[in-house]
Amino acid sequence: MKRVVITGMGVISPLGNSLPEFKKALFEGVSGAGPITKFDAGLFKTRFAAEVKGFDPLQFMQKQDARKYDLFTQYALAATQEAVTQAGIDFEQLNRNRIGVIWGSGNGGIETLQNELLEFAIGDGTPRFNPFLIPKMIVDIASGIISIRYGLRGLNFTTVSACASSTTALIDAFNYIRWGKADMIITGGSEAAITEVAVGGFNASRALSTRNKEMSTASRPFDPTRDGFVIGEGAGALVVESMEHAQQRGATILGEIVGTGMAADAWHLTGTHPEGEGAFLGMQEALQEAGIRADQLDYLNAHATSTPQGDTSELTAISRVFAGSKNLSISATKSMTGHLLGAAGAVEAIISILAIQQNKVPPTINTVNVEGDFAQQFHLPLGKATEKEIRYAMTNTFGFGGHIATALFRKWSGT
């Protein structure tokens, strides 16, 4: 099978709206959390989130197009533009029949749907809806819009596996290129779900932190005092292609995808398996596909949303997979970005590549103590980044319904 490499990355996030801004804030340990400004959250149990700041869609698209796109599609286009630019792509010189788009999102145009329904509900019953309602709302539209913008006629679809969606998209892109079905694929994920219905729904399921007086430190993965996740938004885009294709066009290779794993907890509607069964299987499969031993993994970007049950089950699975490993460093970067839901996997894949490039483990902020004896088993840098030679990095993502997706990356050595 073909080897698969990454040649471009782009980010829209609570830590910055470009890769350089994001990287700087990430390694400095900046919190992206703050008061919700997108709506009046005064009566909600949770009144804070990790919002994208200062995003101007007109920097990335025409005004008439912006009106046709939900915010999650706008984020997708912006992140993709940065990734394509970094990858140095001239589509006119490439076979666009062999270039595809595989995107991930858990909620799609949830803001558009909510607002249209609210307007209908307070009206006189006359069905007046925006003619762009359906294309703005449907979850697959971002992949379609990306392909239209760049004239890409290869395979095109969207993956939906809740908060594992964009890792699942990356895994699909990896496989289609390995199988020779495409030369290049734009992949990633986007989410714009900081809305009344999403915050209210997650509050009702007791998934969100309610530390309204401690907003910037509310996301505290692994800490015994954690009480839920901080909802975030944004997008991550990656250009992936076969090694041969990248080398033929003289691209700079940022890293290589070498292993993936997908599984299911088969346990609960929203909760994770107490022994981390699905996470265990996903990580094991990724290691096996990469052909490396557990003690060869240098860095793990944990899913670690800061929920009481979820963090414990993941740490339990990690202990099972990496028992006895003295090499593994772990961080929970949602402590900074918040939980980007369907976009989390793509953004954390980018974090993993940045860690490899910088030889630096991103910090877990806000966490003071790590529950149990996990801090004695592994290296979990708290508060600040640490220098470390990183050759292999892994990222975990899990979604409601028990969806598990894991990806494993290797430093590019030139061969």
Q: At 256, give phi and psi (nearest 5°).
A: -125, 140
State the pLDDT at residue 324.
84
Which of 245, 268, 273, 303 is catalytic? The answer is: 303
Residue of 163, 245, 273, 403 marked active site? 163
Q: Is 268 a catalytic residue?
A: no
Tokens at 306, concatenated: 């800061």
Which residue is associated with the tokens 């860690």?
Answer: 355
pTM: 0.97
pLDDT at res. 269 = 83
Distances in whole angstroms, Cα of residue 34 to Cα of each of 48, 72, 111? 5, 20, 20
- Complete edge-to-edge strand list for the sheet that includes strand 156-159: 156-159, 99-104, 184-191, 234-242, 4-12, 255-264, 403-410, 392-399, 299-301, 329-331
Matching fold, domains 4-248 and 260-410: yes
Cross-strand partners of 331: 301
**Residue 77: both structure tokens together:** 């286009």
379 is catalytic: no
Alpha helical stretches, state H, 273-307: 277-290
State the residue for tokens 């599984």.
263
163 is known as an active-site residue: yes
Indicate the pairing of strand 329-331 with strand 234-242: unpaired
Q: How is domain 260-410 classified at the CATH fold level?
A: Peroxisomal Thiolase; Chain A, domain 1 (3.40.47)
* Distance between CA atoms of residues 395 and 359, nearest Å: 16
CA distances from 48 to 71, 126, 143, 161 (A): 19, 35, 30, 25
Q: What's 4-248's CATH class?
A: alpha beta
Q: Which of 273, 339, 379, 403 is catalytic?
A: 339
How high is the pLDDT of residue 387? 97
Beta strands, E only, 16-83: 34-35, 48-49
Q: Is 129 exposed, middle or buried (0-12, 13-18, 19+ CB in 10 A)?
A: exposed
Average pLDDT of adjacent 10-residue blocks, the chain of 415 residues: 98 98 98 98 98 98 97 98 98 98 98 96 92 97 98 98 98 98 98 98 97 98 97 98 98 98 91 90 98 98 96 96 93 98 98 98 97 89 96 97 97 90
Quick one: pLDDT at residue 415?
A: 79
Distance (Å, whole) CA 241 – CA 8: 10
| Contact (Cβ atoms closer than 8 angstroms) between residue 100 and residue 176 | yes
Domain ranges of the chain: 4-248, 260-410
Q: What is the pLDDT of residue 384?
A: 96
